[in-house]
Every structure is written in structure tokens, then in C-alpha cells.
Amino acid sequence: MTIATGIRLTDTEDTLRSSAPHTFVALLARDLRVLRQDAASFAVRIGLQPVILLFLFTYVLPKIGTGSALSANGSSATFSTILVPGLVASSVLMAGLMAVSQPLMIELSYTNEIEDRLLAPLPTWMFGLQKIVSGALQALIGGAIVFPIAIVLHAPGQAPLLQVESWPLLAIVVLFGSLFSASLGLLAGTVVDPRKTGVLLTVLVMPATLLGCVFYPWSALAPLRWLQILTLFNPLAYFSEGLRASLTSQVPHLPTGSFLTALIVGSAATAAFSVFAFTRKVIS
């Protein structure tokens, strides 16, 4: 009797392990189907703010003779050249953060949908990992929406000067930036009270965007040394500088080793901690 029970448990564990990859992929496919059905809303949500910023900074201001160029440590580049990498980084960060945090807050509080998902043959920690991968994919799609808009929307003579110096470097920066954003989304969705979502946007997202080297290179903060150091604690700064190094190497940027280390180590650490927090949350 005891031996037979042990065999049945072993068979069940083997079945769960063998079905886990299929379940993981099925959950990803479900999220992408939902995204496809909500494609118009997703595009507006991701693209509206960048379009407004681009229209203001790269079309309106140059047209009225203000802010047509920004001096960066002795070199002059159109503001659109400096803005595009930061704006794409900001859009990817927002897309990944919101794609994971908002649905998760609803699943954990109002609908308790997470309980139904946990019935699937998948280890609990892999549900958290699946949400990170899904959020990273949506972040990549968000970046793909904003990037072509950023290239074409500008005043005459204010086109961004973009040139990919290293495709592998660009791929690494975009990949880990997307994973970082989705990991932050999982962490925020797990620990933030849904009733305080507005606080999350006000206290975290807005300062991170304005002080994340989106509108200027990190080196331009040299006169404000204290702020330059403080900015190094902002993950968006490393993502912006990484894209700036990949797309606009003529603009001063952080050393490659610095932003790659921050993105890779930061995304891995944030993913591990957020999955741990998510697992504890749903089990308790």
C-alpha cells in the first residue's frame, strides 16, 4: 500500500514536471491573445505620452526657436538625437511595469483570479516568472511602437541622428531593460496596495522618468554632482544611457561596462526578489 502510494506520487510529480513547459507557454499565449484583442488601447496607452513629448520638444520648440539643440560636454546634437533613446527607454519601462503590476493587483484583490491560475500544473514560482516574461514581451512591443514614431516626428532639420554601433549591444540592452521593467512590475503588483496605485505613479514613476536621463545624457549633470550621483540609483538612467550608447554613440554616455552591469545584475536581482515576494504572497 505504502509503496504503491509512493509510486503514484512520483508519477504525479513527473507528470507535473513534464507538463510545466506546456503550461508556461500556454499562459504566455493567452496573455498575448488578450493583448492582441486590446491592441488599439495598448497602442494608445503606450504611444500617447511619447507622441506629446516628441511633438512639444522636437517640433513645437524648434519651430518657435527654443530648445533646438543641447550642448553635451562640448558636442552639439539636436535635442531629438538626445531624446529618442531616453524616450524609448521610458516607454519600455512603463509598458513592462504596467503590463504586469495592474493586472496582478486585480488578480490578487478584486477577482481572486490568481487562485484559478494556481490550479494549473505549474510550480508557484513559475507563475511569477511567466508574468515577467509576458511583461517583457509587452515592453518590447511598446518600444517597437514608440521607436518609429520618434524617428519621424520632428521639425524640419531636427531629425535624430541614429546609428547602431553594435547590434549585439543593442539587443542586450533592450532585452535586460525589458526584463528589468517587467520584474519591477511584478514587485509593485505584489507589494503595493491596489488602492494606492496613484501613489505608485506619483512617487515612483514620475520622478524616475524626469530624473532617469530621458531628456539629457548623464554627463550633462556634471554641474550638479549630487544629482548626478543620486541618478545612479535610478534603473531608468542605465537603460537610457545604454540605448544612447547603442544608437547615438556621438553623444556622451556612461561606460558600457557600467550600464551593462547595472542592467544585467539589476534585472536578475529584481526578478529573483519579485518572484520570491510573489510566491510568499500567493501561498499565504
- The alpha carbon of 52 is separated from its chain's Cα centroid by a whole number of angstroms, namely 20
HSE of 206 in the Cβ direction (CA atoms, 13 Å)? 7
Range of the domain at 210: 2-283
Number of Cβ within a 10 Å radius of residue 21: 11
Mapped onto helix, strand or coil, the DSSP state of residue 218 is helix
Which DSSP state fits 194? Answer: G
- Residue 81 pLDDT class (50, 70, 90 cuts): confident
Tell me how far CA of residue 210 lies from CA of 68, 141, 151, 229, in angstroms.
19, 23, 21, 15
Q: What is the reported pTM?
A: 0.85
Q: To the nearest whole percent, how much of the chain has pLDDT over 90?
A: 37
Tell me what pLDDT residue 39 has.
Answer: 81
Tell me what pLDDT residue 260 has.
Answer: 96
- Residue 67 pLDDT class (50, 70, 90 cuts): low
On whether the CB atoms of residues 23 and 122 are closer than 8 A, the answer is yes
Tell me what pLDDT residue 165 has.
Answer: 83
Distance CA 254, CA 252 (A): 7
Distance CA 84, CA 99 (A): 22
What is the arithmetic mean of pLDDT over 35-64?
A: 83
Report which of 261, 90, 123, 270 is spatially closest to residue 188, judged by C-alpha positions.
Answer: 270
Distance CA 230, CA 226 (A): 6
Which DSSP state fits 192? Answer: S
What is the arithmetic mean of pLDDT over 256-265?
A: 95
Tell me what pLDDT residue 204 has.
Answer: 77
Tell me what pLDDT residue 66 has.
Answer: 60
Q: What is the CA radius of gyration of the chain?
A: 21
| Average pLDDT of the chain, as a whole number | 83
Reported as a single tens digit per residue, the pLDDT across 140-165 is 999 998 888 888 887 787 778 888 88
Tell me what pLDDT residue 75 has.
Answer: 52
Q: Is pLDDT of 13 > 90?
A: no
Tell me what pLDDT residue 7 has.
Answer: 40
Distance CA 27, CA 22 (A): 9
Report which of 263, 130, 237 is spatially closest to residue 185, judged by C-alpha positions.
Answer: 130
Q: Give the chain's domain count.
A: 1
Reported as a single tens digit per residue, the pLDDT across 88-143 is 999 999 999 988 988 888 888 766 667 767 777 778 888 889 999 999 999 999 99
